[in-house]
Structure 1
Amino acid sequence: MNRYGLLGKNISYSFSQGYFTKKFKALGLNDHSYENFDIQKIDALKNVLAQDNLKGLNVTIPYKQDVIPYLDELDAKAEKIGAVNTIQFTKNGLKGFNTDAYGFQKSLEPFLKSHHKNALILGTGGASKAVRFVLDELGIANTYVSRSKKQGQYTYQELDENIIAENTLIINCSPLGTYPDVEDKPQIPYQYIGAKHLLYDLIYNPEKTSFLASGEAKGATICNGLNMLEHQAEKTWEIWNNV
């Protein structure tokens, strides 16, 4: 049996497990399985790695950065981003990749207009690093928004009409609004959102988060993270198979 899986914490909702189980079935790969490795602390990764027949892993919240010291090698892009969501098992050990950046770029580009020159990134976790990497590559100026004050970032309290008007692309990288807490949303001044805005939420469950619904009500274009996950999963499969 060729075993693949997802490393994370409290991940019963995993998109990856459903996606790859379906993919293996469609490809007739009856000797392939995909499972969730739900660990409460990163040091439990040693127990996961000790298991037989593991061929590849995905990594999700909250371990995309914590996993790096356990790897033997980093792909150049993952190193630059500072976060890993895909682990390839090679003859020289474990190699970390980041396919979030690829998935995010592929899913964002169809929605971009020429006026999307400035972006706000809500949240500063592992996924936000891939988002920033892509925005930098695309030449879109971007600023992190966080609950605590740090240099070069905004706090949610600081967001005003001018900042919202200037930043017509707003990306939620925080877990706020994920099922079952579907009423939650980042505390931004939604009253200043308008038709020029594009709101992108990395969350895909629910399909339309409170963040996206609030933006849509103000005329904004909205996009959730499902397409990003599909793109990054396909890229992951290529990495595992050395395509």
Structure 2
Amino acid sequence: MLKFGLIGKNIEYSFSRKYFTEKFEKNDIDASYVNFDCQNIADVRKVLQDREDECLGFNVTIPYKQTIIPYLDEMNKHASAIGAVNVIKRLNNGRLKGYNTDYIGFRKSLAPFLSQQSHKCALILGTGGASKAVAYTLELEDISFKYVSRNPKKGQLAYEDLTPAILNKYTLIINTTPLGTYPNVTECPKLSYRQLTPKHLLYDLVYNPEETQFLKNGKAQGAITTNGYSMLKQQAEAAWRIWK
């Protein structure tokens, strides 16, 4: 039996195990998928080095998309450019190669909205591993962007900097933080939501709950909204194509 798994922290809720288990059953694939709930990077290293119960591939989620890189032997060019990994493949020679399919999933899920509405400027809320794939996609789509962070570095914005003028210019707003994820469903990024309009598109990478407070607040102002479920399915299928 082939074995695959998810590396992350506090991931019992995760989409991946259910998605791949159902996929394997539906397509009569002799494979299993397990969660590796790692409390620190030392636990991650042990999982990667386990030769007795060896996985052929892994998905990687919060908070290890960047910190896992030093423990890999090779990197796909897109993962290297992004600086974050969400898929690992164990090659025939045993070496571990990192990939990023988040950008594939995000780009494919964003495309229908861009065909309906033009967006020239975007705000990326958060600066973690997922935000890097979002930024890479925006560069491919020729959409300029700014990072927004609670602790902004040079060139980034603080939430307090999001004036009406900025929100008027940056009509695509992507939440890459875990704010609003179940069970903390009342949390949301600190924006002046009253400044949003029907020309705005709010994209939340969070998918549980289906409609986060971030999206509810945007919808109340007439903004177009979407969650990260389509992105997850697209990135998962891209991961499977890598592992096969």
Same fold (TM over 0.5): yes
Cα deviations across residues 40-79 of structure 1 (Å, max 9, x unaligned)?
0111123213142411100000000011001000000000
Alpha-carbon RMSD:
0.9
Q: Distance in 1 between matches of 2:54 and 2:189?
A: 41
Shift of 1:2: 1.2
Match of 2:83 in 1: 82
Shift of 1:202: 0.1
- Deviation >2 Å, runs of 4+: none
Match of 1:6 in 2: 6
Match of 1:103 in 2: 105
Match of 1:239 in 2: 242
Q: Distance in 2 between matches of 1:66 and 1:240?
A: 22
Q: Distance in 2 between matches of 1:114 and 1:60?
A: 30
TM-score w.r.t. length of structure 1: 0.97
Match of 1:47 in 2: 46
Q: Distance in 1 between matches of 2:211 and 2:110?
A: 16
Q: Is the aligned partner of 1:72 residue 2:73?
A: yes
Q: Is the aligned partner of 1:124 residue 2:127?
A: yes
The within-5 A match list for 1:167-182 is 167-182=170-185
1:79 corresponds to which letter in structure 2?
S
Matched residue of 1:16: which SS? helix
Match of 1:211 in 2: 214
Matched residue of 1:177: which SS? coil
The 10-residue stretch of structure 1 (44-53 or 137-146) with the greater mean CA deviation from structure 2:
44-53
2:180 corresponds to which letter in structure 1?
G
Check the 8 A contact 1:147/1:156 in 2, yes or no. Answer: yes
May I ask how many residue pairs the two structures share in their alignment?
A: 240
The 10-residue stretch of structure 1 (176-185 or 44-53) with the greater mean CA deviation from structure 2:
44-53
Q: Distance in 1 between matches of 2:13 and 2:117?
A: 36
Q: Distance in 2 between matches of 1:38 and 1:87?
A: 16
Q: Is the aligned partner of 1:224 residue 2:223?
A: no
Check the 8 A contact 1:83/1:126 in 2, yes or no. Answer: yes
The 10-residue stretch of structure 1 (43-52 or 199-208) with the greater mean CA deviation from structure 2:
43-52
Segments of structure 1 that go 5 or more residues without pairing to the other structure are none
Cα deviations across residues 150-198 of structure 1 (Å, max 9, x unaligned)?
2111100111100000000000000000000000000011010000000
